[in-house]
Amino acid sequence: MIVILKPHSDPEQLNSLIAWLEGKGITTHLSMGEDHAILDLMGDTAQLDADLIAALDIVEDVKRVREPYKKASRKFHPEDTVVQVGNTQIGGGSLTIMAGPCSVESEEQVVAIAKAVKASGATMLRGGAFKPRTSPYSFQGLGAKGLEYLKAARQETGLPIVSELMDISQLPLFRDVDVIQIGARSMQNFDLLKAVGRQEKPVMIKRGLCATYEEWLMSAEYVMAGGNSNVILCERGIRTYENYTRNTLDLTAVPVLRKLTHLPIIVDPSHATGKSALVDPLSMAAVAAGCDGLLIEVHNDPAHALCDGPQSLRPEVFDALAKKLFKLHAAVAELNG
Amino acid sequence: MIVILKPHSDPEQLNSLIAWLEGKGITTHLSMGEDHAILDLMGDTAQLDADLIAALDIVEDVKRVREPYKKASRKFHPEDTVVQVGNTQIGGGSLTIMAGPCSVESEEQVVAIAKAVKASGATMLRGGAFKPRTSPYSFQGLGAKGLEYLKAARQETGLPIVSELMDISQLPLFRDVDVIQIGARSMQNFDLLKAVGRQEKPVMIKRGLCATYEEWLMSAEYVMAGGNSNVILCERGIRTYENYTRNTLDLTAVPVLRKLTHLPIIVDPSHATGKSALVDPLSMAAVAAGCDGLLIEVHNDPAHALCDGPQSLRPEVFDALAKKLFKLHAAVAELNG
Amino acid sequence: MIVILKPHSDPEQLNSLIAWLEGKGITTHLSMGEDHAILDLMGDTAQLDADLIAALDIVEDVKRVREPYKKASRKFHPEDTVVQVGNTQIGGGSLTIMAGPCSVESEEQVVAIAKAVKASGATMLRGGAFKPRTSPYSFQGLGAKGLEYLKAARQETGLPIVSELMDISQLPLFRDVDVIQIGARSMQNFDLLKAVGRQEKPVMIKRGLCATYEEWLMSAEYVMAGGNSNVILCERGIRTYENYTRNTLDLTAVPVLRKLTHLPIIVDPSHATGKSALVDPLSMAAVAAGCDGLLIEVHNDPAHALCDGPQSLRPEVFDALAKKLFKLHAAVAELNG
Amino acid sequence: MIVILKPHSDPEQLNSLIAWLEGKGITTHLSMGEDHAILDLMGDTAQLDADLIAALDIVEDVKRVREPYKKASRKFHPEDTVVQVGNTQIGGGSLTIMAGPCSVESEEQVVAIAKAVKASGATMLRGGAFKPRTSPYSFQGLGAKGLEYLKAARQETGLPIVSELMDISQLPLFRDVDVIQIGARSMQNFDLLKAVGRQEKPVMIKRGLCATYEEWLMSAEYVMAGGNSNVILCERGIRTYENYTRNTLDLTAVPVLRKLTHLPIIVDPSHATGKSALVDPLSMAAVAAGCDGLLIEVHNDPAHALCDGPQSLRPEVFDALAKKLFKLHAAVAELNG
């Protein structure tokens, strides 16, 4: 951490700051110039509150040199994390395809879709039981019953299931769910993050609508700080001024996160764009960018889906896409040597 | 709601859509042109899922004519809502000033600040007991003890208190808090909104970091749909590309919300900018724009505040500002006739 | 175009609006409901100013059904435009790779890079002679001399050249340049667009830093309206709140533009991210998304480049990337059948 | 400027960097820690290209301590700049109101509006002769004839005139215009900035749609570096995700710029919001925030304005607003002491 001091700072206040820092085990190094002075802090600076220091009278600005996350950082954990889910692995070179309906509507529906996507090569089944809806008047999901239908579909197909947890009170219902999804709107629900950090199920954290990479990794850090290191990150589009699509898919996140963290990275082109016609080209792009997997909405009757219909693929369209994606993944792996 | 149909739509599918809509009590009116056709829907269209209709093969686009919120809308409730809190009122022409520390640190601290801000004319005491912090390693607030200290300060000064609720499980602790604050990161925590909608305490909803006016009003609608109509809105800055300040305060929200809703509107310049030097001019601007009140951080020792120090005012600075704000409020009221 | 009327509009004003519209050859269709009325406009609505109509007392809102561009629209020109540049073609299924230094520094430099990138398979040479720089104190490019060096490099290698035009006064100097680039900051320099529309050289329009797809296509329309239909679009990142990278590359632009327009689409991952390490994965992603080509910065000594060094690749790194890209392009073409 | 070095940097490369910097007259100070090292640069660092240094193998990051602008900076020019325009002054405590039509339509129109706004207290007349329009099919302004009409209105009323310059080639036509406006879309048209920097007329620079404060001030620096120090800044809204209004007016710009620069600051609420009903409250807010003036659209027949009608005020509405603004300005001045 670097503290930029105001010109002509009061030496007494400066000494008192240095003493306070040294009391916390921080080593300081002062560099004094004509128009500014900087204080270079070394040691465990993650414990320091940069804003607090910036508020001091003698301080002009504070700049971090190191990231504020540790457990999620590749610097301290160079090898890729591979998350084991049922009989499948997320990360470590394989391509995970999580597919299924946005909303679980009935056992019949979800079992039919699960069979279809499994036949196409999907490795996990996704489906929403608790739905975060902008309007209190919209369908809010089947809740516990929806989770039961998902489990029935798992029973039929062997596909592990992933579903969104919206509130701590629902956690007991998720004991038999394979991966707990934290939705974009909950990415900074810190109590929820702590709660899923205290249990062992893998957690997939979707990126908040306007979350920076650092904030997203700090949310992963919350879960990992609680003791659960089975964390998966899912890019699902960010909010920008462009409103032709629902959000703007940020594929740069894939190589950037690859560098910053050891956690697996999934891409969700369905929610990002809200348009099923864009799922194919953007899934291809995500695989070529090096993601570990995709989250794709599939619905056997998209036009009558109870929610998010426009972004779902029909099973036959998904089938063609999934086949292409596995081939592309193999081709890219070969090209990247 | 207007449904724009694709050119040369299949008449059978069109008839089936019209029949489905009429089954829901919607009246339709078809306007057929050479290059497009539109279906105008009349009746209770708030029940319809625009995305679902947009997904139909024959539909090109769907545009809403009416807002999706009702209870929060000024159209159906023309008079301003005035929220009674203890011996003070929010809305209805008065100027509410909520002041206090970002974080409650000790009883001594919060009582001292409460006395100071009361003497300066503040009508409510704010203070964080449960703190949403980006890092799991940062101070997370004093929790229940912090609420006790706030109540002690209320006891001493008579100022009603407002504090942030982060999770449903903390709700019992807030039974004796005067206004429950829903933080920006919780604005779309729909289970939390439902929970505070089922109780009677006034609720102040801060705008999400990238929430539209409509989404924000839909969050108010969640609370009101539960039966609690004591809702206050608080603008606290939105995330933009400009990072000189922490966020970008959107004062346009004040007149826009005034038109769209009957709910009171508070402005928080402290969190929006993260810089105490900007609190004065932006508070003045907010009052001139017509807000119902301000949420201002005051700390008796900003440089040593445990969190968010840089954005807090010292009590003597706050005193001068509060006096100016009440005078400005009176002057603006006179000018606006 | 759909005009949404206020409830209980004055019939006289409505008749006068209808008469005015019909005077312009527009057919209208009125749909009258209980809580609103809409006027559906048919005919050449591109001539109408939506804002003007929206300003009328009786009008609540105006919504466009059709895009405001014509010549750039795929609806009126279903086949892909292929732009012939020297001995190479842009669009129509081939992969164009434009490579070269951000800034032309010397004849020696640009000739060396041109030879290297040609050997790697690049089909065009890019290089900046006139540089848009945020600071008046930064290097502003070699100007006319820079263009001469580019031509010398073309002479040596046969590669067509593309360079940025910043002001109309420089146009005579570009007579012998193969493709005129309009930079992101000039995307809405309408006089410049008109000027390049009045000449015949192909024009590559980079997307503005916060331009919507529609605004970008309207800039293409400016050039095409002047008579020049050799227009190429180049996605180069948009400005968002995320500042880990310089801008946020929007690869969704590729399939969206493919649908909206017949013009070729190039992607520039170098400028978008400002980090050379991200050029490889994002170039791969762009090809998989279906772009017609890439604009990649290559420098024989990136660390000493006079500008934008961090985003340039070394020739040997570019060589490996270019080889991968052509293979990936072939693989994707085969997969997409 | 602070250069953060990678851990274990090659000492030879480090020495070579230090030597290169010292050759440029920069003094360096090295601070070596366990996990990082920093090189503090002192002297005229504005000449250095931060990106170039950041590209070096041994460098992890570069952070500026000082702003890259000088002539526009308050640090080097503590007193407010006051721009004399005809018989009026911009800056220095007075309130400038520039009013007039978005587009000049006829001599009759502009003279009538000029008389009306002068009677209401406006100190300058604004009007567009050359109009930047997104569509090539929209009305592009009356051009030279429009400027003549503005001059006729000045002749009648004595109000100095301000109008937008779009291209260098139009500069000779502006010789008799009092203030040259650089539009938001031209804010980074660097050749245009240089051209108006080489002449003496005051220049008002509107903020670009997604320009940071620093970029905006760098555009002012371009003009001032050319020798013209009569620069005025105009906030006109930035592009955000919120699309209820055309743009988001950023009133934080007023106090921030007040601190960073000595140049006068004007606010344009008409263009920012695109809605005339918002002009009143946001003008009030801008004055309370401390701006030096306002740019307000007034039209004698807003519903039939050829462009931007919805954001114009009628003369009688403007009259009431202007009277309020002068009173508010006086009240705020008194309150701020």
Q: State the chains in contact with C (3 or more Cβ–Cβ pairs under 8 Å).
A: A, B, D
| B214 at interface of D, judged by CB pairs closer than 8 A | yes
Could you tell me if C187 and C205 are in contact, meaning their C-beta atoms sit under 8 angstroms apart? yes
Q: Do D225 and C192 touch (CB under 8 A)?
A: no
Bridge partners (DSSP) listed for residue B233: B205, B265
As a whole number of angstroms, the distance between CA D208 and CA D189 comes to 10
Residue pLDDT, tens place only, B300-321: 876 555 455 567 899 999 999 9
Chain A with chain D: Cβ pairs closer than 8 A: 56
Cβ separation C240–A240 shorter than 8 A: yes
Is residue A42 helix, strand or coil? strand
What's the rounded Cα separation, in Å, for the pair D219 and C207? 21
pLDDT band per the 50, 70, 90 thresholds, residue A35 = low
A79 and chain B in contact, CB less than 8 A: no
Report CB contact under 8 Å: D256, B238: no
C322 touches chain A (CB under 8 A): no
Share of chain A above pLDDT 70, in %: 96
Mind telling me how many Å the CA of D270 is from chain C's nearest CA?
A: 13
DSSP character string of C119-130: HHT-SEEE-BSS
Q: Which of D217, B276, D3, D76 is nearest to A35 (CA)?
A: D76
Run means of pLDDT, 10 residues per run, chain D, 337 residues: 82 86 88 77 81 77 83 94 96 97 94 98 97 88 97 98 97 97 98 97 98 97 97 98 95 98 97 91 98 95 57 91 98 96
Give ipTM to 2 decimals.
0.93
Contacts of A209 in chain B (CB under 8 A): 210
Which among B31, B65, B241 has CB closest to C40? B31
Does C18 lie at the interface with B, CB-CB under 8 angstroms? no
Segment D8-57, tens digit of pLDDT: 778 888 888 888 888 888 888 888 766 678 888 888 887 787 777 876 77
The string of pLDDT tens digits covering residues B190-241 is 999 999 999 999 999 999 999 999 999 999 999 999 999 999 999 999 999 9
| Opening angle at CA D118, ends D115 and D123, nearest 5 | 140
Q: How many Å lie between the alpha carbon of B284 and the closest alpha carbon of chain D?
A: 5
Cross-chain Cβ contact A274/B133 below 8 Å = no
DSSP state at residue D136: T
Which residues, given as ranges, of chain B have pLDDT below 70? Answer: 33-35, 55, 302-310
How far apart CA C152 and CA D105 sit, in angstroms, is: 51
pLDDT in tens, A223-244: 999 999 999 999 999 999 999 9
Helix crossing, D315-335 with D279-289: angle to 10°? 20
Mean pLDDT per 10-residue segment, chain C (337 residues) = 82 86 88 77 81 77 83 94 96 97 94 98 97 88 97 98 97 97 98 97 98 97 97 98 94 98 97 91 98 95 57 91 98 96
Interface contact flag, B245 D256, Cβ < 8 Å: yes
What pLDDT does D155 receive? 98
Whether the pLDDT of residue A116 is over 60: the answer is yes
Q: Return d(Cα D272, Cα D280) in angstroms, integer.
A: 13
Q: Is B274 left (phi over 0), alpha (psi -120 to 50) or beta?
A: left
Distance CA B7, CA B192 (A): 44
CB-based contact, B171 to chain A, within 8 Å: no
Q: Are D2 and D62 in contact (CB under 8 A)?
A: yes
Nearest to D2 among A35, A38, A240 (CB): A38
**Closest chain D residue to A32 measured between Cα atoms?**
D29
D251 touches chain B (CB under 8 A): yes
Distance of alpha carbon B78 from its chain centroid, rounded?
Answer: 19
C132: helix, strand or coil: coil
The H or E element that residue D318 is part of is helix D315-335
C273/A244 Cβ within 8 A: no
Mean pLDDT of chain A: 92
B-contacting chains (≥3 CB pairs under 8 Å): A, C, D
Query: CB-based contact (8 Å) between B191 and chain A?
Result: yes
C245 within 8 A of C274, measured Cβ to Cβ: yes
User: Hey, is B42 helix, strand or coil?
Assistant: strand
HSE value, Cβ hemisphere, 13 Å, CA-based, for D53: 25
For residue A185, the distance in angstroms to the closest alpha carbon of chain B comes to 6
Strands (E) across C275-328 are located at 293-297
CA angle (D195, D199, D201) in 5-degree steps = 115
Determine the Cα–Cα distance for residues D330 and D221; give it in Å rounded to an integer. Answer: 32
pLDDT at A309: 55
Q: What is the DSSP letter of C248?
A: B
| Closest CB from A57, A68, A308 relative to B303 | A57
Residue in chain C closest to A280 (alpha carbons) equals: C289
Distance in Å, alpha carbon of D54 to nearest chain C alpha carbon: 7
Q: Return the residue matching tokens 């070596």.
A: D32
Confidence of residue A204 (pLDDT cuts 50, 70, 90): very high
In one-letter notation, the amino acid at residue B208 is G
Contacting A residues, span 274-293, partner chain B, CB-CB under 8 Å: 274
One-letter amino acid of A150: L
pLDDT in the model for residue C300? 83
Residues C100/C156, Cβ–Cβ less than 8 Å: no
Indicate yes or no: CB of D135 within 8 angstroms of CB of C68.
yes
Kindly determine whether residue A136 and residue B221, on different chains, have CB atoms separated by under 8 Å.
Answer: yes
C40 to chain B, any CB pair closer than 8 A? The answer is yes
At C116, which amino acid appears? Answer: A
SS3 of D206, please? strand
A66–D36: do the CB atoms touch at under 8 Å? Answer: yes
CA distances from A261 to B138, B168, B206, C269 (A): 21, 32, 32, 22
Tokens 């900087």: give the residue.
A38
- Under an 8 A CB cutoff, do C38 and B42 touch? no
Residue of chain C with shortest Cα separation from A287: C285
Burial class (CB in 10 A: 0-12, 13-18, 19+), D269: buried
The span from the CA of C211 to the CA of C205, in Å, is: 12
Q: What is the pLDDT of residue C196?
A: 98
Name the closest residue on chain D to residue B324, using Cα atoms.
Answer: D335
The answer to whether residue B327 neighbours chain D at the CB level (below 8 Å) is: yes
Nearest to residue C267, comparing CAs of C243, C297, C241, C239?
A: C297
Contact C40 B42 (CB under 8 A): no
Tell me, rounded to whole angstroms, the distance of Cα B11 from its chain centroid.
46
| Residue C162 CB contacts under 8 Å (≥ 6 apart), including other chains | C98, C124, C125, C126, C177, C178, C179, C180, C181, C204
Please state, in angstroms and rounded to a whole number, the distance separating the CA atoms of residues D204 and D234: 7
Closest chain D residue to B288, measured at CA: D285
Kind of pairing, strands A124-126 and D161-164? unpaired
Q: How far is CA B303 from CA B99, B179, B306, B311, B318, in A?
A: 18, 28, 9, 10, 15
A105 phi, psi to nearest 5 deg: -110, -35
Polymer length of chain B: 337
Which chain A residues are closer than 8 Å to B55 by Cβ? 302-303, 305, 309-310, 312
Rounded Cα distance, A232 and A205, in Å: 6
- Report which DSSP code applies to A309: G
Q: B45 to chain C: nearest residue by CA?
A: C35
A40 vs D contacts (CB less than 8 Å) = 31, 33, 38
Q: What angle do CA B83, B85, B86 make, to 5 degrees?
A: 150
B113 Ramachandran zone, left/alpha/beta (phi>0; psi -120 to 50) = alpha
pLDDT category at A281 given cuts 50, 70, 90 is very high
Asked if the Cβ–Cβ distance from A189 to B186 is below 8 Å, we say: yes
Whether residue C29 and residue B29 make contact (CB cut-off 8 A), yes or no, is no
Spacing of C-alpha B209 from chain mean position: 11
- Which of C213, C255, C284 faces A288 most closely, judged by CB atoms? C284
Rounded average pLDDT over A240-269: 97
Nearest CA in chain B to D330: B331
Residues in chain C: 337
Cα→Cα distances A222→A180, A226, C337, Å: 15, 7, 45
- In the three-class reduction of DSSP (H, G, I as helix; E, B as strand; rest coil), residue B85 is classed as strand
Q: Are D191 and C167 in contact (CB under 8 A)?
A: yes
Q: Mind spelling out the 3-state secondary structure of D211-245?
A: CCHHHHHHHHHHHHHCCCCCEEEEECCECCCCCCC
Q: Is B313 on the interface with D (CB under 8 A)?
A: no
Give the model confidence (pLDDT) of D257-269 as tens digits: 999 999 999 999 9
The residue of chain C nearest to residue D210, with distances taken between CA atoms, is C210
* Residue C38 contacts B where some CB pair is shorter than 8 Å: yes
User: Of B136, B221, B222, which has the smallest distance from its Cβ to A222's Cβ?
Assistant: B136
Residues of A in contact with B54 (CB under 8 A): 309-310
Contacts of B218 in chain A (CB under 8 A): 134-136
Question: Which distant-in-sequence residues (6+ apart) come within 8 Å of B273 by Cβ?
Answer: B237, B245, B246, B247, B249, B279, B282, B311, D252
| Model pLDDT for residues A91-114, shown as the tens digit of each residue | 999 999 999 999 999 999 999 999
Q: Which of C11, C43, C13, C16 is nearest to C27 (CA)?
A: C43
pLDDT band for A34, please (50, 70, 90 cuts).
low
Let me know: does A308 contact A103? Beta carbons within 8 Å. Answer: yes
CB contact under 8 A, C245 and A256: yes
For chain D, say whether C110 makes contact (Cβ under 8 Å).
no
pTM: 0.94
Q: What is the pLDDT of residue D67?
A: 84
Q: State what percent of residues in chain D have pLDDT above 90.
A: 70
Contact C188 D132 (CB under 8 A): yes
DSSP per residue over B99-167, as a string? EE-SB---HHHHHHHHHHHHHHT-SEEE-BSS---SSTTS----THHHHHHHHHHHHHH---EEEE---
H-helix or E-strand spanning residue D157: helix D144-157
Q: Do D36 and A4 touch (CB under 8 A)?
A: no
State the nearest Cα–Cα gap between D8 and chain A, in angstroms.
Answer: 15
